[in-house]
A and B are shown apart, each in its own frame.
Chain A
């Protein structure tokens, strides 16, 4: 299973973290520090996998961001590499040529999307279309709620004038 997903940039700044196994706040900081050190130091031509504390971490670099996924030793590493790519392709489609800035200012959306792809440490949905449909349904619901709120606020505002 997948134990956690971490996105860091070349300076080691955290952009997203999702934990599927129990890690305390202190442990999380330690994990991030250790892995950043390990992964950022690796040259470009090497394996996309590192051994770490009895687990395996699969990582892939996209522009300035490193996507790191921690799995068990008997999982299929190439598959996980492609799951990372699957996530990035979906992000790309959603944001339209996604860049680090999109993830910085819309990290909550990146989380919502990740929650449709992975759940409880397993791959949940392999169809990009289904994920896109679900996210857009959620988005339109949110838009509708906002409109409703605005209109109610307006009504009240007018009523109390």
Chain B
């Protein structure tokens, strides 16, 4: 019985799989799965590569067979080996009229190549043709490829067609066309600057997915120039209100929250538009408060929306009621002692509110210290970031000393450099006394000397040379002496 069942499964697996994989492929996957060491896996893969190299250049390979070779090449590259000899064959597959072949070709090509590859030239023509296809699925496949493979140089070749597709009858096409334009904007902002009206229009598209897609390019545009889009504040607020009131089709619900991803994008956009602008912000207070009230606090996505609400509240023109709501959200996050994720988000949200309301850190002192001493490194780092933002003259000594202790324990040089430069920055800005300043700098040099910016060392040298500006000459030269002896240790080790 057991044997029959295994054979049955093997047969089923063989006939399953939309690309009718041959026994060879199944064997390949199985043997890699059963390989007991990386070396054995590498041997199997390299032998597969040799086989493919030989067979792929044979004349008159049936298309289905070529398709399978390409899939095997994708697999091999996914495991980290080079299959570049096969790229040209994948490119040729995209030219094929048979959708089965074409689609596999596009998939392979978007996985193998990136936008700067030489072979892109051979694909652009095909993409142009496919963008005009009657079959919307072919158009979609071409748009997917556009989002991955088109760079600044090739944008003009496909731009007119993509712009037309923004008004295609099929919503999937419109959505992908908008994302393609967004991608173009990221690669070359000037290429789509004249198309901004398209994004504005599609904001009111019937299909919510298309509307949601429009928020991507709009967000980027608003980041660069918020003032030109202030007129849209009312529209965004209205859309957000409707979404929060469950007016979108139920298929956009995710874990009982109505279109949370769209809500999050809208909150990010509103945060940008309301920054420093009292009038714009006033439109937003009600809807943000409502969303905060209604969000489901027991689900991750609910908390994701709540977090975004706090970020928005922290960014726009302050409002006391909103601040209060934000503060209680943060309290709730920080109190979740069994959820590291929520405490992390709480600390992050707290560091955003600090600027507006410095006292808020006092309220959550205990929770912050708990996070500081947690064994979870990610949480610790986040908390140190918070401390960095909370520093002022009254607490700089404690914070910098603590930070230096932490810095000593860090192994990752990228992160150590960042922490070291933060310590230096805080010391330079808030040092309560020159003596403390020298001692602190010495500690930093001792433990991260090779990571600190040269300029910092020069500044200190300069200070020593010029003197510290103390009134009492004796004190001044005393400081210089200690500075020199401290640096002596650093310079000659």
Contacts and interface: CB of A to CB of B under 8 A. Distances in A.
Interface of A: 14, 16-19, 22, 25, 28-29, 32, 45-51, 53-54, 76-79, 81-83, 85-86, 104-109, 111-112, 115, 119-120, 122-130, 134, 137-139, 141-142, 145-146, 149
Interface residues of B, number: 76
20 contacts: A47-B341, A47-B344, A48-B340, A54-B414, A76-B264, A77-B344, A78-B301, A78-B303, A78-B304, A79-B304, A82-B301, A82-B304, A109-B18, A111-B111, A115-B107, A120-B183, A141-B137, A145-B99, A146-B100, A149-B98
Given A29-B80, A105-B13, A120-B182, A126 B100 contact: no
B140 interface: yes
A148 B344 CA distance: 55
Report which residue of A82, A130, A146 has the largest number of chain B beta carbons within 10 angstroms of its beta carbon. A82
Nearest to B261: A126
Interface stretch (B362-370, B373-381, B483-491): B373-381
B304 A138 contact: no
Contacts of A22: 114-116
A85 B251 CA distance: 16
A72 to B, nearest CB: 12
Those 5 A-B pairs whose CB atoms lie nearest each other, nearest first? A78-B304, A129-B251, A47-B378, A120-B147, A47-B340
B17 interface: yes
Given A105-B29, A145-B98, A51 B251 contact: no
Report which residue of A47, A145, A146 has the largest number of chain B beta carbons within 10 angstroms of its beta carbon. A47
Interface in B255-305: 255, 259-262, 264, 300-301, 303-304
A104 B381 contact: no
B261 A79 contact: yes
Nearest to B414: A53
Contacts of A14: 78-80
Contact of A17 (B78, B261, B378): B78
Contact of A106 (B17, B252, B301): B17
A128 B251 contact: yes
Contact of B378 (A18, A46, A53, A104): A46
Nearest to A51: B381
Given A120-B148, A145-B100, A81 B209 contact: no
Contact of A28 (B80, B99, B116): B80
Contacts of B397: none
Nearest to B74: A108
Contacts of B414: 53-54
Contacts of B301: 78-79, 82
